[in-house]
Chains A and B, each alone.
Chain A
Amino acid sequence: MATNGNHKPGAGGTATTGQPFLRIQQVVKQFGDAVAVDGVTLDIAKGEIFALLGSSGCGKSTLLRMLAGFETPTSGQILLQGQDLVRLPPNERPVNMMFQSYALFPHMTVWDNVAFGLRRDGLPKDEIAAQVDKMLALVQLTPYAKRKPHQLSGGQQQRVALARSLAKKPQLLLLDEPLGALDKKLRERTQLELVDIIHQVGVTCVMVTHDQEEAMTMASRIGVMSHGQILQVGRPGDIYETPNCKFVADFIGSVNLFKGRLTVDEPDHVVIDSPECRHYVSHGITGTLGMDAYVAVRPEKIGIQADAPTAADYDNAAELGFNCARGTIRGLAYLGSSTTYHVALASGMVVKITKANDARHDEVRLAQGDTVHVWWWGSDVVVLTQ
């Protein structure tokens, strides 16, 4: 278990075959008339770190609470290694949760917090002590064992919460916004630390977050949720580069969406006409001529320059005359490693472009008000039909 290192088990668009470790099947949760979780089906493999990503109110926390046992599904099944979890109360599930803002017991020391779950199991005293000491060593908090939670920093509290949720060696670890309460710098460091510990222990993990960066850093697979449904499941790269709908494309990172109509439909390429430009997409799509479609282009995949691009600028000469638009720089933000340009096109649409500042001195410096050409490769776009 501990030999996994940084290998991410279960990586891939789908979970490993055979019986999945955790199976969530057609789970629905209604609160009165409101449907919080709307028919979610999900398989999670052993050893995976799976992130449920979505904005607040999308149902991700409700789903997590159903895994923990604090909510009962209106319908549907939750199977952990084939065992139905739904009827078990939270204290009888082999599942432990790290709560948002930790929910550490304020009247107990760090040591007692970690020991709480073990004591409920009625283990012998020396066994409890050994396990608590091991957990505290794992999160490097041994010197703080006698402190109360309020005497610790946010990062230390987070580690106590982790140690407490791992102490009972759960089969499934749930993380609710695990790093939401930490400031940005600390969060970045802690993300990797946390993944490292989870892999060391080898526990399967489902986390909930609204922070896409957190999800992408920590999770081997991500499920994007909106309005109680899972829209797309995949590895971080899949979700970013091949989103399957407008919502996912827009939610993960930023994206420029051109609304157009399919005018040429060949097996190896299609053309979509939008008011801004004609899009040459160098792969086929399933669709019918004349249908509405969105062309999604990520800001970092767009080039920006004063002169019109030539055939040499494209990876396919056939794209010349396509995938290009003229506009005026409306605003620009220098961010150090990159610069973001907002370019207003003739149609009124504003295109966002991110350019890496890979050289200290740009030969040509673009300024606000400049007229520029923006262009991209037909292989870098994604066509979305929903």
Chain B
Amino acid sequence: MSATPVSRRPAGHWSDRVVARLGRKFVIGVPMVFLLAVFALPFLVVFKISVSETDGVRFVDLLTWTEGVLQLKVRFSNYLYILFEDDLYLQAYLSSIKYAALTTAICLFIGYPFAYFMARSRPEIRPGLLMLVMLPFWTSFLLRVYAWKMLLADNGVFNNIAIALGLLDEPLKMMNTPFSLTLGMVYTYLPFMVLPLYANLVKMDIRLLEAARDLGATPWQAFWRITVPLSRGGIFAGALLVFIPCVGEFVIPELLGGPQTLMIGRVLWDEFFANNDWPMAASVAVVMVLLIIVPLALFNRYQAEQASGGKA
């Protein structure tokens, strides 16, 4: 079409545009399809199980067609049971949230100074420090939790040393207490707090702190007025990364927790494998997901508002 022999096709030809548009959709679409397949679909299956009836062997279909009657049977009794009948579930939920929150708070308390120190250290030693944070991942998580069992047991390393030194007369009961549970969770999840905080703090503009000092702030004021508010993103990211897995944690309470520390992961396990009540177990799981998702969604909305806030 074009007179010049060099160009094959005029720029902006419709087929180019179609390819560009489809290409963009494809790039976004792949992860969407992936999430749909591995997250949304299984969740729907779990939800379906939670509202299904069993005839003892298998699930009864939700939709049935018998003699010209289309029947939709959705069984909510599990949810009602969880919420109103037996307070074991609610207690387990509350206890899970309590320990997850406690773990998150302690991780933040330890992790923030840790990340701050790393971010302010000389650039050439930062990769080494990062390596130290990630070093525990080289050993299986299960092994490390078992190791705590050895350390905390009544005749474990800590008690033996303390008795040998005369600090204790008889072993201090540490295993299978809220203490051992919290310790194990903090130990396991601390890196998930440190890493996002570090990533946030390391890119903070030091000149902002200088500006604050220049304007009359003491170092302590500069930290609270500038560093902490600007690292809020890192704090939230770290808190979520610790809090969410902690709520559903099963292995650590199982190994380090005790009778006082019933958590929802344990209840879930019992329903599935001890009681074999799949609809009940699925209901417990759905409630747990909702319990986590609702605050998460609220937080997301808050962040979106913050990001676009004040633009008007």
Interface residues in chain A, defined as those with a beta carbon under 8 Å from any beta carbon in chain B: 68-70, 89-92, 95-97, 99-100, 103-107, 109, 116-117, 120-121, 146-148, 151, 164-165, 168
Contact = CB atoms under 8 A, between A and B. Distances in A.
Contact of A103 (B207, B216, B230, B310): B207
A148 B310 contact: yes
B214 A97 contact: yes
Nearest to B310: A148
Nearest to A92: B216
B212 interface: yes
Q: Which bucket holds chain B's interface residue count?
A: 10 to 19
A97 B214 CA distance: 7
Interface in B281-312: 310-311
A70 B230 CA distance: 22
B275 interface: no
A47 B160 CA distance: 74
B211 A91 contact: no
A103 B211 contact: yes
Given A109-B310, A146-B310, A147-B310, A99 B215 contact: no
Interface string B209-250: 011111111100100011001100000000000000000000
14 contacts: A90-B214, A91-B213, A91-B217, A92-B216, A99-B207, A103-B211, A105-B212, A116-B225, A117-B216, A120-B215, A120-B221, A147-B310, A151-B311, A168-B216
B229 A107 contact: yes
A87 to B, nearest CB: 15
B205 A164 contact: no
Contact of B215 (A107, A117, A147): A117
A72 to B, nearest CB: 14
Contacts of B211: 97, 99, 103-105
Contacts of A165: 214
A68 B214 contact: yes
Contacts of B230: 106-107
Contacts of B212: 105, 116
Nearest to B225: A116
Contacts of A105: 208, 211-212, 226
A96 B214 CA distance: 6
**Ranked 3 nearest A-B pairs via Cβ:** A117-B215, A120-B216, A103-B211
A170 B248 CA distance: 56
Contacts of A104: 211
A168 B210 CA distance: 16
Most B CB within 10 A of own CB, among A107, A109, A121 = A107
Given A103-B207, A107-B230, A168 B310 contact: no
A113 to B, nearest CB: 9
Contacts of B207: 99-100, 103
A89 B221 CA distance: 14
A176 B19 CA distance: 50
B233 to A, nearest CB: 10
A96 B215 contact: yes
A184 to B, nearest CB: 24
A99 B205 CA distance: 12
A62 to B, nearest CB: 14
B310 A91 contact: no
Contacts of B215: 91, 96, 116-117, 120, 164, 168
B236 to A, nearest CB: 14
Nearest to B217: A120
Interface in B5-37: none
A151 B310 contact: yes
Interface in B196-213: 205, 207-208, 210-213
Given A117-B216, A120-B216, A121-B216, A103 B229 contact: no
A92 B207 CA distance: 18
Contact of A91 (B208, B214, B225, B229): B214
Contacts of B221: 120
B226 A99 contact: no
B154 to A, nearest CB: 50
Contacts of B310: 109, 146-148, 151
Given A97-B214, A105-B211, A116-B212, 10 more contacts: A69-B214, A70-B210, A90-B210, A91-B213, A100-B207, A103-B211, A104-B211, A106-B208, A117-B216, A165-B214
